[in-house]
Amino acid sequence: MRPTALCFVAALASALVAGCSHRRAARAPRTGRTVLCATYPVWLFARGVARGRNALRLERLLPAQLGCPHDYVVTPDDMRRLERADALILNGVGLDDFARDAFERAHPGRPVLVATEGLRDKIPYRESSEDTRHGEGAECNPHLFASPRQASRMVSAIASGLVRLDPDGGRTYEDNGRRLSAALTRLADDIQATVARLPNRAIVTQHDAFDYLARDAGLTIVAVIAVHPGEDPSASEVLKIVASARASRAGAVFTEPQYPPALGRTIAREAGIAYATLDPVATGPEDPAPDYYERTMRGNLDALARVLGGRQ
């Protein structure tokens, strides 16, 4: 049975082992409770919320360099970690249904927290990109984490969920969640204010990862290179992208660091516009700094201002 709201147990055991870690549970003694985060950005947010709460072990399911789990297949090692987990935190909106399905089969009734549960104004997939790659029946774009404004709301949802999951750490989760959510909101405001001053706000992106950032910041995405991530467009589709970029007077083509840049550079060159990269923070280092997400998004803001502001 698929939950439609946050599901939590009444309490966790009070004797928990120290550490908020991405390391696998197999490397630590099996004591206390483990909360498993399905994706990298959700793990980043949860890690910030749980900072200083040594009585909770946070782990990450997917590899740090995997990116969005398009067409992901659960491995035996994934299953072992899912079976050991006492609770699961998901991105939701179909992005990590594979993890929820496996977890619920292994542990019916154990708590599942969905970081995007209840968030309004989700963006539908583009007409030609809606499919089942993010879960059967998923109709909305799941990449809310790539917009600091939406990330702020996800942080608040995670904090509320952890308070219910582990009431003894409630003050820590509430304080951390409030601080981190406020910092991400300030960052979103800075991005929006900077974009509003740019002479050109039309862009081409790698795929739909930045739809929320574009909407929240005031950018217009006139074309995407790969409607289905991992599948290069045909020659005729590339010509259409170039034509759209020219017709809309787009300011730049932005690819993502997880994808080869050659096609994006070619499109930018043919359209006669700038090229740069934006990072949705779907991937990152194994042991990132506490402010890794914010620093990366500040880097994105610098790239937007430099390229669209004509400083490149």
Q: What is the pLDDT of residues 273-310, one digit of tens each?
A: 999 999 999 999 999 999 999 999 999 999 999 999 86
Average pLDDT, the chain: 85
221-243, pLDDT tens digit by residue?
999 998 776 678 899 999 999 99
pLDDT attached to residue 169: 93
User: Where along the chain do its domains lie?
Assistant: 25-186, 194-308
Q: Classify domain 194-308 by CATH architecture.
A: 3-Layer(aba) Sandwich (3.40)
From the candidate CATH numbers 3.30.70.3270, 2.60.40.1180, 3.40.50.1980, 3.30.1330.40, the one assigned to the domain spanning 25-186: 3.40.50.1980
pTM: 0.84
Q: pLDDT digit string (tens) for 7-53?
A: 333 333 332 233 333 343 344 344 447 899 999 999 999 999 999 99
Q: At what angle do helices 40-49 and 170-196 cross, to 10 degrees?
A: 120
What does the pLDDT look like over 57-75, one tens digit per residue?
A: 999 999 888 877 767 788 8
The confidence score (pLDDT) of residue 33 equals 77
pLDDT of residue 228: 72
Average pLDDT over residues 203-228: 94
Identify the band that residue 267 occupies on the pLDDT scale cut at 50, 70 and 90. very high
Q: Fold identical between 25-186 and 194-308?
A: yes
